[in-house]
């Protein structure tokens, strides 16, 4: 029997999630020796993976000494050293040695996965590439600490602007350790109540938006879609919209709109626009709950949810059965 739940609001989340099979179904071999050749003939070589705020490519001799000196001494003696990039917050960084013209560097993107499919996409990167080659640095704020080995996947835009897998590197995870707790997941639907408002997460789905959220194929980026119902005194209300997602896991990852494994907690901000109460009316609530790792989604058209000329949010509507 079909059960009408009513009009629900859905929000696209995890826009950096990649196909779960990416680590095991790469179109190119995963290199364990550290060198990969790209389609244009340029090469990438794995050099280093580490966690921290500043990351340097340590060469031999005097360069290695300069890279180990405290910042104060480097500035005092006006030394120059190979600095890949600086992170405002601690991040997991991978350094690659690039040999080539550099013309396609802006078309490359990167993901970091483990054997279970947990995947994080690069938050940002930097490079020191001149004519002929140089160093590329990629930072990940969301990454797995539970696996002994990681796979760095390299993507490139093709002629139709779709991502294709062009290289992969497998290496030891320097942040691995055992003993992290496992957070139990709540079954669907998940409901939290605050200030007389009832927020229910009805569904969580993964797939490719270009193909109506069908499962992503190897090399395709995968997105998530969370579907909420909001009620007040048992009645559906339409003036509350999702307005932000932050995910935190038991190993120390904390990221808005990031990838996730099976034991993340989802924090969602909701807002309501109340023009009749004030010239600019604004209410917000913050919810947190454990997330299940399976979901289904029935697709429906996209629409623009406009609370006012100042606040316009994209959302999706669906009728769940």
Residue 44 maps to which CATH number? 2.60.40
Among 124, 142, 172, the domain boundary falls at 172
For residue 2, being part of any structural domain is answered with: no
Q: For the chain, how many structural domains are there in total?
A: 2
Please tell me which residue, 48 or 22, carries the higher pLDDT value.
48
Long-range CB contacts (within 8 A, 24+) of 250-254:
250/180, 250/181, 250/182, 250/183, 251/144, 251/145, 251/146, 251/180, 252/145, 253/141, 253/142, 253/143, 254/141
Please tell me which residue, 171 or 288, carries the higher pLDDT value.
171
Domain span including residue 163: 20-172
In this structure, the answer to whether residues 15 and 80 fall within a common structural domain is no
Q: Summarize the confidence of residues 124-139 as an average pLDDT.
A: 68
Burial 147-162 (b: 16+ CB within 10 A, else e): beebbbbbbbeeeeee
For residue 1, being part of any structural domain is answered with: no
In this structure, the answer to whether residues 28 and 132 fall within a common structural domain is yes
In this structure, the answer to whether residues 192 and 248 fall within a common structural domain is yes
Mean pLDDT score across all residues of the chain: 65
Report pTM. Answer: 0.56
3-state SS record for 12-65: EECCCCECHHHHCCCCCCCECCCEEECCCCCEEEEEEEEEEEEEECCCCHHHHH
For residue 177, being part of any structural domain is answered with: no
In this structure, the answer to whether residues 31 and 73 fall within a common structural domain is yes
In this structure, the answer to whether residues 55 and 136 fall within a common structural domain is yes
Q: Which of 233, 261, 201, 206 is nearest to 19 (CA)?
A: 206
Answer yes or no: are the C-beta atoms of 254 and 264 closer than 8 Å: no
Among 172, 196, 231, the domain boundary falls at 172
Output the pLDDT for position 169.
Answer: 92
Max mean pLDDT range (20-29, 52-61, 124-133, 161-170): 161-170
For residue 143, being part of any structural domain is answered with: yes
For residue 105, being part of any structural domain is answered with: yes
Question: DSSP label at 66?
Answer: H
Residues in the chain: 321
In this structure, the answer to whether residues 92 and 124 fall within a common structural domain is yes
Among 135, 151, 172, the domain boundary falls at 172
């Amino acid at each position: 029997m079909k059960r009408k739940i009513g009009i629900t609001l859905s929000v696209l989340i995890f826009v950096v999630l990649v196909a779960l099979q990416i680590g095991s179904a790469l179109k190119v071999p995963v290199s364990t020796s550290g060198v990969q050749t790209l389609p244009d003939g340029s090469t990438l070589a794995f050099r280093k993976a580490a966690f921290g705020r500043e990351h340097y490519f340590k060469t031999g001799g005097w360069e290695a000494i300069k890279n180990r000196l405290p910042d104060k001494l480097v500035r005092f003696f006006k030394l120059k050293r190979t600095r890949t990039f600086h992170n405002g917050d601690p991040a997991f960084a991978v350094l690659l040695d690039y040999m080539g013209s550099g013309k396609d560097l802006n078309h490359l993107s990167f993901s970091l996965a483990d054997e279970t499919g947990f995947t994080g996409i690069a938050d940002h990167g930097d490079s020191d590439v001149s004519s002929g080659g140089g160093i590329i640095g990629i930072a990940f704020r969301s990454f797995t600490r539970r696996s002994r080995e990681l796979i760095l996947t390299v993507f490139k835009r093709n002629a139709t602007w779709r991502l294709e897998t062009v290289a992969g590197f497998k290496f030891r995870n320097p942040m691995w350790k055992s003993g992290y707790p496992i957070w139990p997941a709540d079954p669907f639907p998940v409901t939290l109540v605050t200030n007389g408002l009832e927020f229910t997460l009805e569904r969580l789905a993964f797939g490719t938006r270009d193909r109506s959220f069908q499962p992503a194929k190897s090399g395709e980026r995968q997105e998530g879609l969370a579907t909420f119902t909001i009620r007040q005194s048992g009645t559906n209300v339409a003036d509350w919209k999702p307005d932000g997602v932050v995910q935190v896991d038991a190993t120390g990852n904390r990221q808005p709109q990031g990838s996730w494994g099976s034991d993340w907690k989802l924090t969602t901000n909701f807002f309501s626009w109340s023009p009749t109460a004030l010239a600019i009316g604004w209410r917000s609530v913050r919810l947190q709950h454990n997330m299940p790792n399976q979901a289904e989604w029935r697709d429906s058209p996209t629409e623009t949810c406009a609370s006012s000329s100042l606040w316009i949010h994209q959302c999706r509507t669906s009728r769940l059965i």
